[in-house]
Structure 1
């Protein structure tokens, strides 16, 4: 007998009804085949011969079949691999005739062991053939630490990510963090003033309404914005917002000092990804122009210079700047 195939594994997807699975590799004994069931969560469970499954076809070069007691469910998968015990059981009595059949069977068995080891090695992490690195060992597991190269770059060790400087906390706002290690500072850094922080901590609309000073709500727009967004709104009188050296707030009171065109032009220095609310008071302006870099919604109001206020919501995300909405408010 010869062993011409290097295949030593089979895998199948469960469907909740199939229990018979063909085995396409040769195995000498039922005990030489390992059967694992992978569940929906990815955990592997070794199945028991005689309880969870039965095998047929041992010793056949064509392979055999695995019959499961319970059909693997949809989302589960069945994995079979040849995994013979690494023993040598062939005896050669002295002065006997050469046992050709027994000898060939022993060679087949050793080949199956080699194929089993090869299958395992194929699933391991190895260095390149040309690598000169050697003697690398894995350290013992250490909770809440990561595996990394040591300072010399010649072995692995467990490292504390924070101590290694890989992550600096607290993360700044422009890196997606809050720039703070407590809730109060985080809310302030994210643009909440005292009133905004108080509102954020409320658990109901009625509670939030009670926090807001009704006198502020009756005041002018600038005070209302201060109550909602923070201590100060950024004020601009430029005819073109891209003339501003920087945008420091997420809400802008824009009162251009002109009797001509007003432009929300290209190149406005939006500092971070996020949403910006522009409250444009056109005054004596006769035309409001939008830069070509802005992606516009499918439907929107054209900015009307005769409106008392034009509210423009701008969003910056991954370098792309979009106008989310335009509203012409009554004077």
Structure 2
């Protein structure tokens, strides 16, 4: 029988994302010492779990302390779309966009590669997510679970159904215990086609939702297999969306009113507003007659005064 052996291994290398405050520390006898380490992650780092080691050594002893951290994908806007693709990396054995063929048909239920993805829902109007996960080989099968911020499973593509109710099985694709082991193998259960699965996830609160993929069967064509995760976070409730639109509209109207008021205030401070008036032909006629009447009255008064003055002079 022809076969191929492949080996993967870790090599000691500096971890560029970790910055210890000092490369040398002193630990007194029978005592402890504290060292601060700063984590600086690239902005394009995909969601998932990242792991490595902190190495401590002296002349006679060496210790590798495991370190891991989680990158979350923040969902701040409604109708947000996330795409995660398997891509090669020189820094790790296989990235978050890959699943590994590490499963055993006669081992425990947990056997097989698990991958984790984290989505931090910050927009309270997002109440659902549509997720599609696809892979390469038709012989590979992934069981997918989604947990809410309280660690409750709220969706899966392999629900336990009647087997979970009566037999306590964790999922539909599991074949139960055998007389000689905890694992009875897995059967492929796919709800879309041979190389993909879809889920609809209800989102009832803000917080971090966790998506777990479990490689229960593996095609075996390579050590790892690329997977693609596409997710869209949105709101499908017409009532909630109408409230969301109303709030946005009210905010926009308030903003427009503030801008208009500010502009009017600035205009009034800069220059006085001219007052415009309109005079009709009838108004002009009445003004003309009034002026003539006033002129005649003044003329008569002047004439009377003149006559009185002349009479007084003639008498003298």
Higher strand share: 2
TM-score, normalised to structure 1, is: 0.21
**Structure with larger RCO (C-alpha < 8 A, sep 6+):** 2
TM-score, normalised to structure 2, is: 0.22
